[in-house]
Chain A
């Protein structure tokens, strides 16, 4: 399985990168246990605080995982590796797919660890609800995977860390990952147009089914728009002499 060899090394490279684990796993895990742990009996937005916060942290961590996986292209560009890869039979789409696959692997890992931690502080879901939550998270991560690849072609390598950290934190904050940003009014209707809002809602939605229509539309629109931008950015980057 030659294809598998390449992916295996991509995943291995990611696991060996400590910074990666810190932002996609360690921070969310620490916040979950220190904030949701002591408040496990609080009810927030009609659901238990542990479930709300676990989903919030899973959203934030997995978002970090997929964005930084794509954004690593910036590092590979800076050392000329992407040009080297363009001389191999691997297509550009396969190269990007590998980045997205790796991001998802890390995201799933982070979600699973946070789910275990959530269970430890009292989250109780049945199998279908767990799977629905996981499924919604994975779908909700699509626009962020694309965002990562876009970053990989746009952001200079030395400002990549702060840019990823900043953007994912703002998305997470506005999406309500650290607590609801608004419960009603115009602010709520605005944040509902962010894909991160629906990531954070994945846990709550899983209790009663899936996202309402707006959730699917928001995720789809962001995915399509970001993909178009990413393709443009990529083309501009490769045509350049």
Chain B
């Protein structure tokens, strides 16, 4: 394990050497993940379903023990960090307990922490003021998610860990969620969130870790990650044009021919916009346009190099 700082309180580090024996078919949930996180950083764990994001987060929170390697939060074990009340979390699944109002539930959870935020402030921050007196069982999915967020935030944790926090939210809920998170980040808190939306990772994280099949595929600033996986493809029917001609179009990285159709790969959406305008201008008989973002799964598999690697050679305890 790397020692990143002598100041224990100033570092939240997660260092591990090949852990995870959770078998998902042929794929171990998490293998050899090593992450060091600086305090104040907002980190996105980006990956398709089954990438190992939740397992990584569970290990950070001490809910799952790695088979090998260690997890350290602020220089101590997850259990100690949690006991000190410096960690707040919101898991991917979960609901609320019954027979309490929203305000009562948040107050109850706040009472467990040494230095909680004011309940009213948290309700305001999470947009749950209007439903504060409603029973926890009479909430919509989006409202429940907001209350769960309030529960994670009321601790005023130094490290906030969120597993696909916006999965159950509508557009407005998502926007409010990230407004609240920005406020948290602005106060110097460390945030780690898992997501399978590239846009979300791009818009809100300082750093993105790409995970696929239990491994870290890439680690860097959002711009770098976006360039790697944010590609778009344009498909069109356009016979009798040489792909090498098409690859010279502005914005186009690569062009291929499939029968009468062509596939143009572009780095991002402004590039694909430019490319499609040029394509129409230069080749008026091009038709059946289809523009789509490369799926994360697809992009990741491209990054990892192969689709059917054998995993039995390593990670086995």
Please give the residue numbers on chain A whose beta carbons come within 8 Å of chain B beta carbons, in ascending order: 2-3, 5-6, 9, 12-14, 16-17, 75-76, 79-81, 83-84, 86-91, 239, 241
Contacts and interface: CB of A to CB of B under 8 A. Distances in A.
Closest 10 CB pairs of A and B: A80-B94, A5-B111, A79-B95, A13-B99, A16-B99, A9-B108, A87-B89, A88-B112, A89-B85, A2-B111
A211 to B, nearest CB: 36
B204 interface: no
Given A5-B107, A88-B113, A89-B85, A83 B96 contact: no
Contacts of A80: 91, 93-95
A86 B65 CA distance: 14
A241 B22 contact: yes
B98 A88 contact: no
Nearest to A89: B85
Given A80-B91, A83-B63, A87-B82, A12 B100 contact: yes
B99 A88 contact: no
Q: How big is the B interface, by class? A: 35 or more
B94 A83 contact: yes
Contacts of B83: 89, 91
Interface string B249-283: 00000000000000000000000000000000000
A91 B29 CA distance: 28
Interface in B221-274: none
B180 interface: no
18 contacts: A2-B112, A6-B111, A13-B99, A16-B99, A75-B97, A79-B94, A80-B94, A80-B95, A81-B95, A83-B94, A84-B89, A84-B94, A86-B61, A86-B82, A87-B61, A87-B88, A88-B113, A91-B83
Given A13-B99, A75-B98, A88 B155 contact: yes
A interface secondary structure, majority:
helix
Nearest to A5: B111
Interface in B46-89: 55, 58, 61-65, 82-85, 87-89
Contact of B109 (A14, A75, A88): A88
B150 interface: no
B220 interface: no
Interface of B: 22, 29, 55, 58, 61-65, 82-85, 87-89, 91, 93-100, 104-105, 107-109, 111-114, 151, 155
A241 B108 contact: no
A161 to B, nearest CB: 14
Contacts of B94: 79-81, 83-84
B73 to A, nearest CB: 12
Given A9-B108, A89-B82, A89-B84, A76 B155 contact: no
A19 to B, nearest CB: 11
B97 A81 contact: yes
Contacts of B63: 83, 86-87
Given A5-B108, A87-B87, 12 more contacts: A5-B107, A5-B111, A9-B107, A13-B98, A13-B100, A16-B99, A75-B97, A84-B94, A86-B62, A86-B82, A88-B112, A241-B29
Nearest to B135: A16
A75 B97 CA distance: 8
A87 B86 CA distance: 10
A120 B62 CA distance: 55
Contacts of B55: 241
Contacts of B111: 2-3, 5-6
Contact of A89 (B29, B91, B114): B114
Contacts of B87: 87
B96 A81 contact: yes
Contacts of B151: 84
A9 B98 contact: no
Contacts of B98: 13, 17, 75
Contacts of B112: 2, 6, 88-90
Contacts of B105: 9
A5 B112 CA distance: 9
B117 to A, nearest CB: 14
Contacts of A6: 108, 111-112
Given A89-B83, A241-B22, A79 B97 contact: yes
A41 to B, nearest CB: 43
Query: Chain B CB within 10 Å — which of A14, A81, A89 has the most?
Result: A89
Contacts of A17: 98-99
